[in-house]
A and B are shown apart, each in its own frame.
Chain A
Amino acid sequence: MFAFVLRRLAVAIPTLLLLIVFSFALMHLAPGGPFTAERALPPQVLANLEAKYGLNDPLWLQIWNYIYGIVVHFDFGPSFVYPDRTVNQLIAAGFPVTLTYGALSFVAAVVFGVSLGAIAAIRQNSWVDYLAVGISIGAQVLPNFVMAPLLVLVLTLWYGLLPGGGWSFSDPSFWIMPVIALATSYMASIARITRSAMLEVLGSNHIRTARAKGMPEHRVILRHALKPAMLPVISYLGPVFVSMITGSVVIDIYFSTGGIGKAFVDSALNRDYAVMMGVTILVGALTILFNLIVDVLYAWIDPKIRY
């Protein structure tokens, strides 16, 4: 197992390097640049800007300098669009925000999704099942860009319960709406996957055996059914966790959280190369890390899997 983890981590480094080189090249292929603006800059001003940020170097040298800066100084470069800040500062300001509401959403989605799915499967074809399936379909079809403004309308304007947006680490009332809006559709997907996996497991031989030998039903469900049923759920959760904690552009826009989800999309539209690369690398590294964690969890859940 230890060797497996080491091997995977070793592969991660060239993977990230490839990601950097490809993203860098793709980004520079897009028309326009960070300083393309409504008022075309005088050529000399543009030249000064490009000289300052090293954008007039050949592409290979830019990539080299960029990687060198990261490896040697852990410096992800300056932002072109936010000239007062570096990419490190921007990510340090935005990532804790998305990490907070993303992780909370993840917990909410897993707890409610798994419970809903499991209960539905256990009481298959009863009203409980229909209700659970109904809720999860409803949650799935209500996209977060509809739900977010709806939440603000109801909870802020009509009932005056919660602030309509913004962010504060010290005041959880700012977290509630982003978490509801982000968790809902994930919860629905988790519930559906859990339900079908549970149904499959509940129909299998080892459950019949467990029941036949008189094991209490709660033990049958929790130990023998739920655990194996989690396998497909977990493979879904790995990438979902990463995409949740690295932010959702919809949540960031509607609740103005200042998170990096919007920063990422903006950086692409603004051609803010360094910010875009910084977030890409962050998302890439987290994806690799959590895929590894999922693989390790597999081995723990399913004794048939050995590395």
Chain B
Amino acid sequence: MTKLFTTTALLAALSLPAYAVEIAEGDTLAENQTYTYWLLDAIKSLDPAKNTDVEGSDVLRSLFEGLMNEDAQGNMIPGVAESHEVSEDQLTYTFKLRDANWSNGEPVTAGDFVYAWQRVVNPETASEYAWYIELMNIENATQIVAGEAAPDQLGVRAIDDKTLEVKLTTPTPYFLNTLSHATTFPVPQSVVEENGDAWTQPANLVGNGAFTLASHNLGVDIVLNKNPEYWDADNVVMETVRGVTVNDNNVALTRYQAGELDRVQIPAGQFPRLKEEFPEQAVSVPYGCSYAYVMNVSDKGPEALKDVRVRQALALGLNREVIVDQVLQGGQKPSYSWTHWAINGFTAPEGGMQDMSMPERQEQAKELLAEAGYGPDNPLKLSLQYNTDDSHRLLAIAAQQFWRPLGIEIELNNVEWKVHTDRLQSQDFELARYAWCADYNEASTFLDWFRTDGYNSGKWSNEEYDQLLAEARTAEDTAPLYQRAEEILAEEAPAVFVYHYAKVDMINPEIKGLPRENLLNTWYAKDLYRAAE
């Protein structure tokens, strides 16, 4: 017995004939429908199974289309899947696919999804994002990645050309939210098999997205043109999308001002000035990443950090408001929770240290340290490790200054990125700068990190916390469980939460349709248009 499960967003979207582009009243379209945006670096891969970057995903969402897309608020709306059903035990999803074509005119079938997903978990592909299919809890994914089962054992099959069935190992409340991710996009089997690794080159690449790949000069630019074969091509306005690599953010800003780019990130510290000068162009919106100083509580970590009073003192003593208002200056928010404040359905616990004044917090921190046996005679000495980056350095210096009055001596330890990561993952650090970005818009994407078997570099572990997150997997109402989990993090302080990210950009006001309420900044070139001045 299966029950029809259709979200309101799905219904709303289906009732609209055209939802690709909504042209605002009073806007007329510019003759030149080209959008040129900034890329910090080269696009590393255009293979949905091998891409690991946000910038790569942005391009892949134009070249390919998954079962689901996101609207401007980050809600799931139909992509290739026209509708879907969920079994009562929440373990089987059945998707009905629409009539859509690949850019070479071949039809997109359920088998293309089966092939693509099997390819991601196939050990021969060696996909760095194979874990993503595991995160989706698809049957046998883990065993296949481990080489213990054949790729065709994956819990996904084509019932017919237009019907795709997915079997999960456990109810997964966020399952539908994972389907707009590039890793889940279909790939054309014949093209991949014929061209091998070179299938993503402009001459070979075949996609099912709203755009096709016109050219790709690695580290220079990537150009996409509108795909006439796309099922909703009539509603796509943008003709050309161009990503231009500029490796230096300040030069990129200069080139934006010279009119070469329509969108660029604002370099750290320049937002207030630009906002004043160009109020219509400088934009700061919440962005789903969270910044913290993780504490190593493992056996390899310092004795002091095993004492919750010391961890609490560190959390209390950091003046996040000054960091956000004086150092970052880009609309970021001070954080007292690990989960980003703007995550869907999440409410941070109230009370706690955010309600205390800074002098009160410092007082309490000193008391805690004294109780733990640290003071002027026995100062607490810790090292804070961060990877090479100007803003990480500034923040680390600020943290050092905030903790000094408490009698904590912080030694700053700057290392390059790979060394930083390597040490984090082998628990070879005391305090370390860390940031996590949401994979999907639900609190578990953050909270899972601190699970005993999560990434959890500091190796903090708490039974009740693990229990809460396990319950949340199947719970009807997850909000109180997540709130309690955050309370435990606040009490136990396995990390000092510092701030929640904002995306701070200069955007050409002629470009319309870029989402400003999508926390993951998932944007689709097919939703954009350029208005005439």
Show the binding face of A for B, using Cβ within 8 Å.
30-33, 35-42, 44-45, 48-49, 51-53, 78, 81-86, 90, 93-94, 148-149, 152-153, 156-157, 160, 163-167, 252-254, 256-258, 262-263, 269-271
- Asked if B422 contacts A82 (CB within 8 A), the reply is no
**Given contacts A31-B423, A269-B417, A164 and B258 within 8 Å (CB-CB):** yes
Closest CB in chain A relative to B133 CB, distance in Å? 10
Top 8 closest pairs, chain A to chain B, by CB: A32-B418, A258-B219, A32-B422, A52-B126, A164-B255, A258-B220, A48-B123, A253-B247
B335 within 8 A of A: no
Q: Is the CB of B246 within 8 A of A83?
A: no
Q: Which residue of A lies closest to B129 (CB)?
A: A45
Identify which of B45, B47, B126, B220 contacts A48 (C-beta below 8 A): B126
If A40-B455, A45-B145, A166-B220 touch, whether A84 touches B134 (CB-CB below 8 Å) is no
- Residue B464 at the chain A interface, CB threshold 8 Å: no
Interchain nearest-CB distance for B12 vs A (Å) = 34
Contact status A93-B218, CB under 8 Å: yes
Q: What are the residues of chain A within 8 A of B248 when measuring CB–CB?
A: 149, 253-254
Cα(A52)–Cα(B130), bound, Å: 14
CA distance A256 to B434 in the complex (A): 29
The smallest beta-carbon distance between B274 and chain A, in angstroms, is 14
Complex Cα gap A82–B46 (Å): 9
Report which residue of A32, A35, A52, A78 has the largest number of chain B beta carbons within 10 angstroms of its beta carbon.
A32
Given A41-B128, A83-B50, A94-B218, output 20 extra A-B contacts at Cβ < 8 Å. Answer: A32-B421, A36-B418, A37-B52, A39-B131, A39-B455, A42-B130, A42-B134, A48-B123, A48-B124, A53-B126, A94-B219, A149-B250, A152-B251, A152-B254, A156-B260, A163-B260, A165-B246, A166-B244, A262-B219, A269-B416
Query: A167 and B418 in contact (CB under 8 A), knowing A84-B47, A256-B247?
Result: no
A262 to B40, CA, bound (A): 13
Interface assignment of B104: CB less than 8 Å from any CB of chain A: no
B contact residues vs A (CB 8 Å cutoff): 42, 44-47, 50, 52, 123-124, 126-128, 130-131, 134, 142, 145-147, 197-198, 200-201, 217-221, 244-248, 250-251, 254-255, 257-258, 260, 416-419, 421-423, 425, 435, 455
Within the complex, the shortest CB–CB distance from A303 to chain B, in Å, comes to 48
Q: A153 to chain B: which residues have CB within 8 Å? A: 254
Q: Known contacts being A153-B254, A157-B254, A252-B247, is A271 close to B418, with CB within 8 Å?
A: yes
In the bound complex, what is the Cα–Cα distance between A21 and B124 (angstroms)? Answer: 29
Contact A157 B257 (CB under 8 A): yes
Known: A48-B130, A157-B257. A83 touches B197 (CB 8 A): yes
Query: With A45-B128, A82-B218 in contact, do A164 and B260 touch (Cβ < 8 Å)?
Result: yes
**Chain B nearest CB, measured from A94 CB (Å):** 7
Are B219 and A256 in contact (CB-based, < 8 A)? yes
Are A49 and B126 interface neighbours, CB within 8 A?
A: yes
- Chain B residues, CB < 8 A from A38: 421, 435
Nearest-neighbour CB distance to chain A for B119, whole angstroms, equals 13
Bound-state CA distance A81–B197 (Å) is 13
Q: List 17 A-B contacts (CB under 8 A).
A: A32-B421, A35-B128, A42-B145, A44-B146, A45-B127, A48-B123, A52-B124, A83-B197, A90-B218, A149-B251, A156-B254, A156-B258, A164-B251, A252-B219, A258-B219, A263-B219, A270-B418
